[in-house]
Amino acid sequence: MIQLSKVLKEYTTKTGKVVAVDNVSLSIQQGEIYGIIGYSGAGKSSLIRLLNGLERPTDGQIQVNGREVSKLSSKEMRGFRQKVSMIFQHFNLLWSRTVEENIAFPLEIAGVPKEQRSERVKELVALVGLEGREKAYPSQLSGGQKQRVGIARALANRPEVLLCDEATSALDPETTDQILDLLVTINKQLGLTIVLITHEMHVIQKICHRVAVMENGLVVEEGQVIDVFKNPQQPITKRFVSQISDGAHFSDTVDHFLEMYPNGKLVKLTFVGDQTDQPLIARLIKQYGLEVTIVQGNITQTQNGALGTLLLHIDGDALAIDEALGYLHAQKVQSEVIQHD
């Protein structure tokens, strides 16, 4: 569906060249929700602007549904922009137009006749849950409602790809979740491919199937969201993942427990999907005669399934503890003995 091969984007500034996207190769499948995460300056916006042809790559190829983006003529580019549409952090609505007029705008530009336009606007208003607000102006809407208008407008010309540029970063957590749920519904109902950029791991965890982690223009890690959560490789990915799976006070808890219980071992377990149903802890106690204290637990739902983390303090015979860790390993439960740094 979307294929990036060795894409380089350099900007020439007064002080020299800036490499914003550095040799990035990615492949995004039809119907997928694909997330690109990175801190400010990582190159996410540049990458998304390359995908919709707003920027041209310095080198490399970008293909969207078989079209080579940098080779499109101006006329082809206009058609392409209808098929690769975008929503924005600050919504970019027309303030002098009502909700329905905003949604109708791209249809007007595409030359859709009036009657078909109002039919389509009606459908879109229902799809994004804005019935009753058709005549309101953007200034009369909440942030979540404004983004619903942005989504309806982006979907008007039945795009093949929806690009989301920090689409929930200006919203409160509850509204963020509602908008993310709407994106999942649209992805499922319309089979629409969604590519989003964000600096929030929560967004990736909640709706993405796959994720790419960007740092200094490079994609440093890429994969299924559940695999990246389960086994982050790069320090930056570990930092993003710990925003979610460890909770805010994880490191405090660990230090506290390591001091409180100098004996035994503090073990972090990570398990996927239905493994969470197994009576693992009961086994550790009964079969290996160990004392087990649950320090902290967390289950994270991702689009690829559930991922659980459990922090245990295990005390008892040293050999039995080693055997118990072997048993967990055999159950394909990942375990990590936590120690002081």
Ligand X SMILES: Nc1ncnc2c1ncn2[C@@H]1O[C@H](COP(=O)(O)OP(=O)(O)OP(=O)(O)O)[C@@H](O)[C@H]1O
- Contact positions vs ligand X (CB under 6 A): 11, 13, 18, 20, 38, 40-46
How distant, in Å, are the alpha carbons of 201, 227, 258, 301, 339 from that of 252? 21, 26, 10, 24, 13
Distance, CA of 89 to CA of 150 (rounded, Å) = 10
Name the strands in the sheet holding 305-315, side by side, starting at the edge strand that comes first in the sequence.
291-302, 305-315, 265-272, 334-338
Whole-number minimum distance, CB 243 to ligand X, in Å? 16
Least separation in angstroms between CB 46 and ligand X: 3
Closest CB 91 distance from ligand X, rounded Å: 17
CB of 256 to ligand X, least distance (A): 35
Distance CA 108, CA 291 (A): 69
Query: Please, which residues have CB within 8 angstroms of residue 43's CB and are 6 or more apart in sequence?
Result: 9, 20, 21, 22, 214, 216, 217, 218
C-beta closer to ligand X: residue 38 or 53? 38
**How far apart (Å, rounded) are the C-alpha atoms in residues 178 and 21?**
32
Q: How far is the CB of 228 from ligand X (least distance, A)?
A: 18
CB closer to ligand X, 44 vs 81: 44
- Cα-Cα-Cα-Cα dihedral sign, residues 170, 173, 179, 183: positive
- In angstroms, give the least distance from the CB of 40 to ligand X: 3
For residues 307 and 229, give the distance between their C-alpha atoms in angstroms, rounded to a whole number: 8
Closest to ligand X by CB, 13 or 189: 13
What is the number of the residue whose Cβ is closest to ligand X? 45
Spatial separation of the C-alpha atoms in residues 279 and 28, rounded to whole Å: 38
DSSP 8-state class, residue 133: -
For residue 113, give both structure tokens: 């006749």
Task: Provide, rounded to whole angstroms, the least separation between the CB of residue 51 and ligand X.
Answer: 12
3-state secondary structure at position 52: coil
Nearest CB to ligand X, comparing residues 36 and 130: 36
Residue (13 or 339) nearer to ligand X, CB: 13
- Of 35 and 43, nearer to ligand X (C-beta) is 43
Q: Which is nearer to ligand X, 20 or 128 (CB)?
A: 20
